[in-house]
């Protein structure tokens, strides 16, 4: 099988980590009988340098025509980079918001997985961690409070700010379906998080999620209030498989969940639309402080590439192999600087990519 992958290497460590992800993808392709054809696209600072803007219409179209987009990260050092002398709509990050919107990427998927070997980086107590946890936060990305009408008015000599939280049935249904589909490929449990004891939008959320659940009888659904979920994530994270939630709750809970795993260099993410199409990128930024020094941890990008195989290309076996190779490399004691601990062997970005690719072949 052949697939077309749009590649946005981006800025800072982006090109280094994407190079390693491609290395690993190609090793998986050779073993499992598929070929990825890559088209390199510019976005962020790299696009500003060539086109004067962070994202061109041609780039959006090329991305749209591909089977999936693999991204590194974009942006530079806000204090020193000339990109940040530009007005906000021309800065690197504007490209990211625009591509998400243009490609209708409404579902953000962020796994939070605790590796046995990296338990030391987890801030939770041993008795809570147990034999680790493995969950996915599914956050609605293009609706809710962040996209509702907002204004600041003056009433009786006092300023008053208004933000509007709206969700339509359709917006809820499409993300709920995505969450159930993903749960089906995992431990078959969805925890839908809302504030249905207070908010109308949450009550609608709950009823639409229940409706969608009827088509997924093999998946268990539970509802949880957001304040309780914030507590449960640090009290007993093992109970979660897929957490499904709206935009603002997801923004907060996904950061909380990723913090309990301990390392930013390990966290993958995907942004999906209604079809199989998605944009896959690490959760971290472009780390300009370590760019070009062979210091970056490429694992978050490599795991994002594995998600791309699983969710956009249905190559589950190859995705499993990449995830297993990452685990094996950690078990064999290899670490990049950010996850280094005593008794392990420190390696650079390229070597880490080589070691993971070797364990796939």
The verdict on 74 binding ligand NAD (CB under 6 A) reads yes
**287 contributes a contact to ligand NAD by CB under 6 A:** yes
291 is in an annotated binding site: yes
Choose the stretch contacting ligand NAD; rule: CB under 6 A; options: 18-26, 247-255, 295-303, 321-329: 295-303
Query: 3-state SS of the chain?
Result: CEEEEEEEEECCCHHHHHHHHHHHHHHHHHHHCCEEEEEECCCCHHHHHHHCCCCCHHHHHHHHHCCEEEEEECCCCCCCCHHHHCCHHHCHHHHHHHHHHHCCCCEEEEEEECCHHHHHHCCCCHHHHCCCCEEEEEEECCCHHHCCCEEEEEECCEEEEEECCCCCHHHHHHHHHHHHHHHHCCCCEEEEEECCCCCHHHHHHHHHHHHHHCCCCCCEEEEEEHHHHHHHHHHCHHHCCEEEECHHHHHHHHHHHHHCCCCHHHCEEEEECCCCCEEEEECCCCCHHHCCCCCCCCHHHHHHHHHHHHHCCCCHHHHHHHHHHHHHHHHCCEECHHHCCCCCEECCHHHHHHHHHHCCC
247 contributes a contact to ligand NAD by CB under 6 A: no
Q: Residue 280 catalytic?
A: no
The C-alpha atoms of residue 7 and residue 17 are separated, in whole angstroms, by 12
Residues 165-184 vs ligand NAD: string with x where CB under 6 A?
--------------------
Give, to the nearest 10 degrees, the angle between helix 316-331 and helix 14-32. Answer: 120
Q: Give the interface size with ligand NAD as a residue count (CB under 6 A).
A: 21
Pick the closer one to ligand NAD by CB: 73 or 258.
73
> Which residues ranging from 79 to 98 are in contact with ligand NAD (CB under 6 A)?
93, 96
Identify the active-site residue in 195, 238, 327, 351. Answer: 195
Among 146, 177, 181, 327, the one annotated catalytic:
146
> Using the rule CB under 6 A, is 75 a contact of ligand NAD?
yes
338 is in an annotated binding site: no
Structure tokens given for 227: 């304040």
Site string for ligand NAD, 13-52 (x = CB under 6 A): ----------------------------------------
Nearer to ligand NAD, 29 or 278 (CB): 278
CB 190 within 8 A of CB 250: no
Q: Does 265 bind ligand NAD (CB under 6 A)?
A: yes
**94 in a labelled binding site:** no
- Candidates 47, 73, 258, 268; binder of ligand NAD (CB under 6 A) is 73
Q: What is the C-alpha to C-alpha distance for residues 12 and 14, in angstroms, rounded to an integer?
A: 5
Binding segment (CB under 6 A) for ligand NAD, from list 52-60, 133-141, 241-249, 280-288: 280-288
C-beta closer to ligand NAD: residue 222 or 289: 289
- 285 touches ligand NAD (CB under 6 A): yes
**What residues from 318 to 357 belong to the interface with ligand NAD (CB under 6 A)?**
338
Binding-site annotation: residue ranges for substrate: 100, 110, 139, 227
Write out the residues near ligand NAD by the rule CB under 6 A. Answer: 73-76, 78, 93, 96, 264-265, 281, 284-290, 296-297, 300, 338
Task: Give the active site residues.
Answer: 146, 195, 227, 251, 255
Binding-site annotation: residue ranges for Mg(2+): 227, 251, 255
Binding-site annotation: residue ranges: 100, 110, 139, 227, 251, 255, 285-297
């Amino acid at each position: 099988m052949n697939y077309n992958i749009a590649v946005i290497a981006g800025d800072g460590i982006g090109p280094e980590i994407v190079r390693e992800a491609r290395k690993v993808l190609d090793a998986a392709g050779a073993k499992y009988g598929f070929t990825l054809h890559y088209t390199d696209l510019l976005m962020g600072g790299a696009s500003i340098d060539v086109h004067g803007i962070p994202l061109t219409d041609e780039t959006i179209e090329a991305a749209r025509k591909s089977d999936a987009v693999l991204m590194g990260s974009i942006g530079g050092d806000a204090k020193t980079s000339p990109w940040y002398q530009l007005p906000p709509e021309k800065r690197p990050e504007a490209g990211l918001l625009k591509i998400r919107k243009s490609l209708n990427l409404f579902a953000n998927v962020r796994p939070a997985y605790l590796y046995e070997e990296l338990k030391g980086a987890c801030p939770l107590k041993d008795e809570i961690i147990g034999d680790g946890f493995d969950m996915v936060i599914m956050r609605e990305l293009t609706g809710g409070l962040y996209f509702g009408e907002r204004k600041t008015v003056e009433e009786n000599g006092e300023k008053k700010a208004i933000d509007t939280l709206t969700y339509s049935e359709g917006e809820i249904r499409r993300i709920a379906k995505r969450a159930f589909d993903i749960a089906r490929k995992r431990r078959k449990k969805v925890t839908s998080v809302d504030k249905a004891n207070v908010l109308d939008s949450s009550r609608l959320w709950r009823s639409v999620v229940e409706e969608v659940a009827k088509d997924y009888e093999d998946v268990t659904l539970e509802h949880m209030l957001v304040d309780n979920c914030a507590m449960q994530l640090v009290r007993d994270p093992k109970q979660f498989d897929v957490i499904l939630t709206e935009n603002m709750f997801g923004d907060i809970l996904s950061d909380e969940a990723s913090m309990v795993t301990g390392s930013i260099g390990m966290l993958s993410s995907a942004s999906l639309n209604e079809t199989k199409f998605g944009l896959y990128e690490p959760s971290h930024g472009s780390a300009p402080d370590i760019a070009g020094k062979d210091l970056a941890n490429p694992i978050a990008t490599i795991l994002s590439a594995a998600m791309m195989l699983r969710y956009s290309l249905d190559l589950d076996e190859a995705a499993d192999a990449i995830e297993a190779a990452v685990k094996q490399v950690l078990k064999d004691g290899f670490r990049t600087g950010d996850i280094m601990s005593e008794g392990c062997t420190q390696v650079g970005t390229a070597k880490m990519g080589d070691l993971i690719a070797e364990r796939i072949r």
